[in-house]
Amino acid sequence: MFSTLMLAMTMLMSCTLNAKENDKSMTQEESGKILFINGSPNADGNTAALAKVLLEGREYETLNLNDYRINFYGQKLEGDQFEVVLDKMKKADIVVMGSPVYWHNICASVRAFIERFYGFVPEGTFKGKRFFFLYQGAAPTQMMIDDGEYTMKRFAMMYGFSYEGMANGTNEAKDLKNKLEE
CB of 43 to ligand FMN, least distance (A): 9
By CB under 6 A, residue 109 contacts ligand FMN? no
By CB under 6 A, residue 145 contacts ligand FMN? no
DSSP annotation of 26: B
CB of 68 to ligand FMN, least distance (A): 17
Using CB under 6 A, which residues numbered 38 to 97 contact ligand FMN? 40, 42, 45-47
CB of 86 to ligand FMN, least distance (A): 23
| CA–CA dist 85, 60 (Å, integer) | 15
| CA–CA dist 104, 139 (Å, integer) | 10
Residue nearest ligand FMN, Cβ-based: 45
| Choice from 54, 136, 166, 172 touching ligand FMN (CB under 6 A) | 136
Of 5 and 138, nearer to ligand FMN (C-beta) is: 138
Give the E-state strand segments of the chain in sequence order.
34-38, 61-64, 94-102, 105-106, 130-136, 162-167
Of 19 and 139, nearer to ligand FMN (C-beta) is: 139
Of 104 and 154, nearer to ligand FMN (C-beta) is: 104
| Choice from 2, 79, 103, 128 touching ligand FMN (CB under 6 A) | 103
Q: Are 34 and 60 in contact (CB under 8 A)?
A: yes
Rama region for 58: left / alpha / beta (φ>0; ψ in -120 to 50; rest): beta
CB of 158 to ligand FMN, least distance (A): 25
CA distances from 87 to 92, 147, 180 (A): 9, 27, 23
| CA–CA dist 45, 50 (Å, integer) | 9
| Choice from 133, 137, 168, 177 touching ligand FMN (CB under 6 A) | 137
**How many Cβ atoms sit within 10 Å of the Cβ of residue 28?**
14
Question: Angle of helix 142-158 relative to helix 108-115, nearest 10 degrees?
Answer: 30
Binding site for ligand FMN (CB under 6 A): 40, 42, 45-47, 100-104, 136-140
